[in-house]
Amino acid sequence: MSLAVLASAAPGFSRWCCAFGDTREGAEQEGAEGRPARYAPQFFSLSEYRTVEVLTELILPSMEGSGAKEAGVAEFIDFWVKNDPPLQEQFRRGLEWLDRAGGNGRPFIELSPAEQQKILDRLAYRRYQRPEEKTGQLFFRLMRQYTVMGFYTTEIGLKSLDYPGLKFYPTSPGCPHPDNPEHVGL
Amino acid sequence: MATQYDVIVIGTGAGGGMAIRTLCAAGLKVCALNAGRKLDPPKDFQYHRMPWDMPFRGFGSAQQQAQSIGYMDNEYVPNVWEHDLAYSVAPGTSWTWPRCFAVGGKTNFWGRSSARFAEIDFKAASRDGLDVDWPVSYDDIAPYYSRVEQMIGVASTVQNRPSNPDGEYLPPIRFRCRDYILQAAAARAGIPYLPDRFAQLTVPYQGHPACHYCGNCTNGCDVGAFFSSPYFFLPDAEASGKLELRTNTLVREILVDRDGMARGAAYVDRVSRREVEVYGRAVVVAASCIESAHIMLNSKSRQWPTGIANSSGQLGRNLCDQLYGTTASGYLPQLLGTPSFPDNVSGASVAWLPRWQNLKTPAEEPFFRGYSMYPDGGCEEFPSYFDDIEGYGTSYREEIKRRYPTPLSFYVQAPSQRSDRNFVDIDPEKKDVYSIPEVRFHFEWDQNTLKMWEHAKQSSQEIFRQAGAVYQGHGEPQPPGTSLHETGTCRMGNDPRHFVTNRFGQTHDVPNLYVCDASVFLNCTDKTTTLSILAFSLRTSETIVENFRSGGHRSDDPATI
């Protein structure tokens, strides 16, 4: 298999290559390259997938036009979970838990941004954590892990860290602070 | 009539590659057997492959992760690590055995640390009374080290340490910010922190290009800017017209004649599944420390009922390994928020903390002999510390970026001591898919090694304190086999009653059977093994050439008792 074929099969690829238009409609429409303009999830149901999208975007929001959304992280997670059966139940149960966490019968994606943030704060920060919400806390950690894995392995993700490797250097790059060996006050 | 070769060489890695190169250069006709395929580096090493070029982004699928043996067995370079051939592990033993079946073996991916062993290593037993001395002195081996360094190119500095004899070096890789911080901190703790001896070309060398510091090394170098057998040894041997390289050949046993001398090898062709015999006037075993013993133990005959050249009963015994494990991890707060820096340019550590224990006297510490350590960390590709940071959202992303240059850890390289409990034998029942009886591991860490592990954790924490680094914890000892530096299954020594080979790597029992890998080493030291495998293999290979010239494979080594 050539690299190009491999890459086009890779999750997230449709996001980087194809114009990404209306997010609510057009799941069946063909994009300019003959690919569906709207990604059709392979593992998650459509409503689960939308929640996954929202979560990845809350965990790693766009900064200067680069974040989980632009990197297609939700596609990556869908692909990964489809290929990792032991994880499937954990994701599914976690998403169910999250939809009940608002306590008012409304699923997570229908909550206001402030309500969503309140729930995530309860899961993410030790000072807000509740002992009876272990399931939710573990799910958040899992979700964050796969979001980080999906983002910081893309070109824009590594660019956001100024990843300096896999480049050509004519000589070994040495410390630029020879006068400050202890590196204090940088 | 079947072709008669001068020498059959089993294995094409550091030891086998050196033997092939040396024997072919001397005009001997060589047939080399390798268990797997030949790599095409520009194709197989996926030139600067990025994580998004792979479906599982370099983490590997759940199935790949479950199958993987060793950290180099990953999504970047699939299909070069052995998964088809089972091995057996005795109850209570947790050995893992990564085997690279590609031509060139692990030299395609090795860590490249290349320190010489010293007199304090060869004569350790005389100092502390443990086990026995090597049958060679540093002065015997030093000229071979020099020649190997000239062949492969090693970057380092002159350091004047008795445990670390200086060699002939290319300019060192430059220190990074973290190295200066850690060097000063280690000095305050009384611990050396120095440029490693590193087989990486810092200048163009002998027709090989200089390193371009992309950091891709452990996935294989597509331009050959560090030593590997396929880049440095095999091309000349193939050009000589003296080499026939047979790939996908899995050696079942060494064949013997009526007198019990080696006459060739029997192998399975893994493509056709045919059983094949190949004949030679001498045989070199260089299949790796464990596999060489496995093949020899499986080479049973009327003359050698417990395995070829095993009249001493020592074949497979005396297995030693180096304990690996993360002794401390955390981060350097002084680098928080600093610009990303190409710390990972060599794909490995450019510095090391060479043995500093028990140098003046053998009993300075609560353990015998010594260990060394390596630093790790910096801007690695993936921010693997992400789970240490609380939260989500923009503040979480900013903290990931701020921490990117700061991660720091140390890992230890601590040699085990010879023990009767540590060995390999043949499993009496289990056979692999080719009906070859499986090798079986028996191994546990000894108390001395575990004391080194404790000491290394303390030393690492002290450097953390001195560096003002934030300490977050330590790892656990990795399973034996992780270091890839196992030694000792065919130890060399002058007395045929106790050792498998003589001091030239020639088996005492079968004078035309030679061993060219780390299995002849008496024990592990605090150093890595590849440079020494190359030096000892060069010496053994020249002994073979000499023996061919003088008309036979004499066993009357004057040093033999």
For residue B44, the distance in angstroms to the closest alpha carbon of chain A comes to 12
First to last CA, chain A: 47
Per the CB < 8 Å rule, is A153 touching B58? yes
Summarize pLDDT for B304-316 with one digit per residue, the tens.
999 999 999 999 9
Per the CB < 8 Å rule, is A164 touching B342? yes
Give the pLDDT of residue A21.
31
> Cβ of B93: how many Cβ atoms within 10 Å?
17
Cα separation of B319 and B336, whole Å? 44
User: By the CB < 8 Å criterion, does B186 face chain A?
Assistant: no
Token pair recorded at residue B290: 């464990």
Residue B355, classed as helix, strand or coil, is coil
Per the CB < 8 Å rule, is B53 touching A10? yes
Determine which of A23-27, A115-119, A176-180 has the lowest per-residue pLDDT on average: A23-27
> Cβ of B37: how many Cβ atoms within 10 Å?
16
User: By the CB < 8 Å criterion, does B188 face chain A?
Assistant: no
Token pair recorded at residue A38: 């709207």
Cα separation of B54 and B51, whole Å? 6
Give the pLDDT of residue B1.
60
In B, minimum Cα distance to A137 occurs at B391
Cα separation of B273 and B288, whole Å? 23
User: DSSP letter at A175?
Assistant: P
> Which residues from chain A sit within 8 angstroms of residue B202, using beta carbons?
171-172
User: By the CB < 8 Å criterion, does B160 face chain A?
Assistant: no
Query: What number is the ipTM of this complex?
Result: 0.91
Measured N-to-C along each axis, helices A85-101 and A73-82 cross at an angle, to the nearest 10 degrees, of 130
pLDDT along chain B (561 residues), means of 10: 91 98 98 95 74 92 88 84 96 96 94 96 97 98 98 97 96 94 97 96 96 87 93 97 98 97 98 97 98 98 98 98 98 95 78 97 96 94 95 98 96 97 98 98 98 98 98 97 96 98 97 98 98 98 96 60 35
- DSSP characters for A57-118? HHHS--BTTBSTTTTTHHHHHHHHHHT-HHHHHHHHHHHHHHHHHTSSS--GGGS-HHHHHH
For residue B487, the distance in angstroms to the closest alpha carbon of chain A comes to 33
For residue B101, the distance in angstroms to the closest alpha carbon of chain A comes to 22
In B, minimum Cα distance to A145 occurs at B387
CA count, 13 A, side-chain hemisphere, B355: 31
Shortest CA distance to B333 belongs to which of B440, B255, B405? B405
**Mean pLDDT computed over A88-105:** 95
Q: Specify the DSSP element, H or E, that contains B548.
A: helix B530-549
Question: Amino acid letter at B262?
Answer: A
Cα separation of B198 and B155, whole Å? 5
Question: Exposed, middle or buried, A134 (CB in 10 Å: 0-12/13-18/19+)?
Answer: exposed
Summarize pLDDT for A58-95 with one digit per residue, the tens.
999 999 999 999 999 999 999 999 999 999 999 999 99
> Which residues from chain A sit within 8 angstroms of residue B66, using beta carbons?
none
Give the pLDDT of residue A37.
60
- DSSP characters for B476-525? -PPPTTTTS--B-TT-B-S-TTT-SB-TTSBBSS-TTEEE-SGGGSSS--
In B, minimum Cα distance to A153 occurs at B51
For residue A154, the distance in angstroms to the closest alpha carbon of chain B comes to 5
Q: β-pairing, B243-246 with B249-256?
A: unpaired
Facing residue for B341 by CB, picked from A79, A152, A164: A164
CB-defined contacts A:B, below 8 A? 166
- DSSP characters for B171-216? PPPPP-HHHHHHHHHHHHTT---EE--B-B-SS-BTTBPPP---S-
> Which residues from chain B sit within 8 angstroms of residue A59, using beta carbons?
392-393, 396
- DSSP characters for B450-465? HHHHHHHHHHHHHHHH
Shortest CA distance to B156 belongs to which of B165, B168, B147, B144? B168
Residue B353, classed as helix, strand or coil, is strand
> Which residues from chain A sit within 8 angstroms of residue B59, using beta carbons?
149, 153
Tell me: pLDDT of A47 over 90.
yes
For residue B358, the distance in angstroms to the closest alpha carbon of chain A comes to 29
For residue B339, the distance in angstroms to the closest alpha carbon of chain A comes to 8
Give the pLDDT of residue B47.
60
Cα separation of B393 and B68, whole Å? 34
Residue A139, classed as helix, strand or coil, is helix
CA count, 13 A, side-chain hemisphere, A165: 21
Facing residue for B212 by CB, picked from A79, A150, A168: A168
- Beta-carbon contacts of residue B129 (< 8 Å; ≥ 6 apart): none
Q: Are B156 and B346 in contact (CB under 8 A)?
A: no
Token pair recorded at residue B114: 């290349």
Token pair recorded at residue B379: 């801007």
Per the CB < 8 Å rule, is A164 touching B338? no
Interface test with chain A among B178, B198, B213, by most A beta carbons within 10 Å: B213
Give the pLDDT of residue A8.
36
Cα separation of A125 and A103, whole Å? 20
Shortest CA distance to B433 belongs to which of B9, B35, B8? B35
> Which residues from chain B sit within 8 angstroms of residue A76, using beta carbons?
57
Give the pLDDT of residue B390.
97
- Provide the b/e sequence for B377-403 (b: ≥16 CB within 10 Å): bbbbbbbebbeebeebbeebbebbbeb
Cα separation of B122 and B523, whole Å? 9
Q: Are A75 and A147 in contact (CB under 8 A)?
A: no
> Residues of B numbered 402-431 whose beta carbons fall under 8 angstroms of chain A's beta carbons: which are they?
404
Helix locations, B80-129, DSSP H? 119-122, 124-128
Facing residue for B379 by CB, picked from A10, A160, A163: A163
- Beta-carbon contacts of residue B549 (< 8 Å; ≥ 6 apart): none
> Cβ of A176: how many Cβ atoms within 10 Å?
12
> Which residues from chain A sit within 8 angstroms of residue B49, using beta carbons?
3
User: By the CB < 8 Å criterion, does B125 face chain A?
Assistant: no
Shortest CA distance to B286 belongs to which of B73, B26, B526, B513? B513
- Dihedral Cα B376, B381, B383, B384, nearest 10 deg: -60
User: By the CB < 8 Å criterion, does B519 face chain A?
Assistant: no
Token pair recorded at residue B222: 């597509």
Q: Are B490 and B515 in contact (CB under 8 A)?
A: yes
Residue B10, classed as helix, strand or coil, is strand
- Beta-carbon contacts of residue B199 (< 8 Å; ≥ 6 apart): B112, B113, B114, B152, B153, B154, B155, B226, B227, B530, B531
Interface test with chain A among B61, B198, B200, B397, by most A beta carbons within 10 Å: B397
Tell me: pLDDT of A2 over 70.
no
Per the CB < 8 Å rule, is A158 touching B381? yes
Cα separation of A93 and A28, whole Å? 28
> Which residues from chain A sit within 8 angstroms of residue B203, using beta carbons?
none
Q: Are B210 and B237 in contact (CB under 8 A)?
A: no
Facing residue for B340 by CB, picked from A7, A10, A162: A162
> Which residues from chain A sit within 8 angstroms of residue B53, using beta carbons?
3, 6-7, 10
| Torsions phi, psi for A26 (to 5 deg) | 85, 25
User: pLDDT-based confidence at A22, cuts 50/70/90?
Assistant: very low
Per the CB < 8 Å rule, is B401 touching A160? yes
Give the pLDDT of residue A24.
30
Residue A123, classed as helix, strand or coil, is helix
Per the CB < 8 Å rule, is A144 touching B382? no
> Residues of B numbered 33-52 whose beta carbons fall under 8 angstroms of chain A's beta carbons: which are they?
46, 48-52
Q: Are A184 and B334 in contact (CB under 8 A)?
A: yes
> Cβ of B369: how many Cβ atoms within 10 Å?
26
- β-sheet bridge partners, residue B323: B414
- Beta-carbon contacts of residue B194 (< 8 Å; ≥ 6 apart): B157, B159, B183, B351, B352, B353, B354
For residue A47, the distance in angstroms to the closest alpha carbon of chain B comes to 22
Residue A19, classed as helix, strand or coil, is coil
Cα separation of B13 and B34, whole Å? 9
Facing residue for B202 by CB, picked from A7, A172, A184: A172
Per the CB < 8 Å rule, is B386 touching A120? no
> What pTM value is reported for the model?
0.93
Give the pLDDT of residue A160.
97
> Which residues from chain A sit within 8 angstroms of residue B350, using beta carbons?
172
Q: Are B319 and B486 in contact (CB under 8 A)?
A: yes
For residue B82, the distance in angstroms to the closest alpha carbon of chain A comes to 21
Q: β-pairing, B407-415 with B322-331?
A: antiparallel
Shortest CA distance to B373 belongs to which of B123, B113, B171? B113
Cα separation of B401 and B484, whole Å? 34
CA count, 13 A, side-chain hemisphere, A34: 1
Q: β-pairing, B470-473 with B322-331?
A: antiparallel
Token pair recorded at residue B167: 């060699």
Give the pLDDT of residue B136.
98
In B, minimum Cα distance to A150 occurs at B57
User: By the CB < 8 Å criterion, does B466 face chain A?
Assistant: no
Residue B147, classed as helix, strand or coil, is helix
Per the CB < 8 Å rule, is B214 touching A168? yes
Question: Amino acid letter at B423?
Answer: F
Give the pLDDT of residue B345.
73
